[in-house]
Amino acid sequence: MSAKRTKAVERLIEAAIQAQKRAYCPYSRYPVGAAVLTEAGRVFAGCNVENASYGLAMCAERVAIYHAIAGGQDALSAVCVVGSSAKPCGACRQVMFEFSDKDTELYLVDLNPASGRRKIVKTTVFKLLPMAFDPLASGLLPKNPRNLLKRKPSRRRTGASRRNR
């Protein structure tokens, strides 16, 4: 990883840690922070926000992504989630998929606030959600929508292309 990329990832992780400190979670007492790094190099953070009507709560990952969208950024190059045994829920995984490509990095940071120790697991958004609902493959989006410009086309061959070889 280049020094520039390493600095960007460190900035991303720190933004997620700071966001976790602002989580509003009086019901679950499970604070989560998240941050996204856009392809333009900007970082947007979010924290989980709960509500007495549980269905109205919002996960940190989606808050960060929606914050980026509101800021005019819709292509993610990295996502970071910070919490105790941090793992995005299914809804967050699908939202991350919508704005990612096959190379979008995902950093899961298991942070122990008491000791200050942290364990970082690096993967990709695509690996975290196998067989995701793909709006591009389903025909819901044009071939090169703004938010999926780097999505690599499937290498599966159709029957017609095999016959024409």
Rounded CA-CA distance 150/147 in Å is 8
Phi-psi region for residue 31, left (φ > 0), alpha (ψ -120 to 50) or beta?
A: beta
Rounded CA-CA distance 151/136 in Å is 9
With 0.95 as the threshold, say if the pTM is over it: no
pLDDT score at 142: 67
CA angle in degrees (0–180, nearest 5) for 48-35-74: 110
pLDDT digit string (tens) for 51-97?
A: 999 999 999 999 999 999 999 998 999 999 999 999 999 999 999 99
pLDDT score at 65: 98
pLDDT score at 148: 54
The H-assigned helical ranges of the chain are 3-20, 60-70, 90-98, 125-128, 159-163
Domain span including residue 151: 3-163
Nearest to 121 by CA among 153, 88, 143: 88
The residues assigned a catalytic role are 61
pLDDT score at 18: 97
CATH (domain of 110): 3.40.140.10
Rounded CA-CA distance 57/45 in Å is 17
Q: How far is CA 163 from CA 135, 154, 155, 158, 160, in A?
A: 28, 18, 16, 9, 5
Q: What is the DSSP letter of 156?
A: P
pLDDT score at 130: 85
pLDDT score at 133: 85
pLDDT score at 146: 55
Into how many domains does the chain fold? 1
| Amino acid at the residue 124 | T
Q: What is the DSSP letter of 20?
A: H
Q: Point out the residues of the chain with pLDDT beneath 50.
A: 149, 151-165
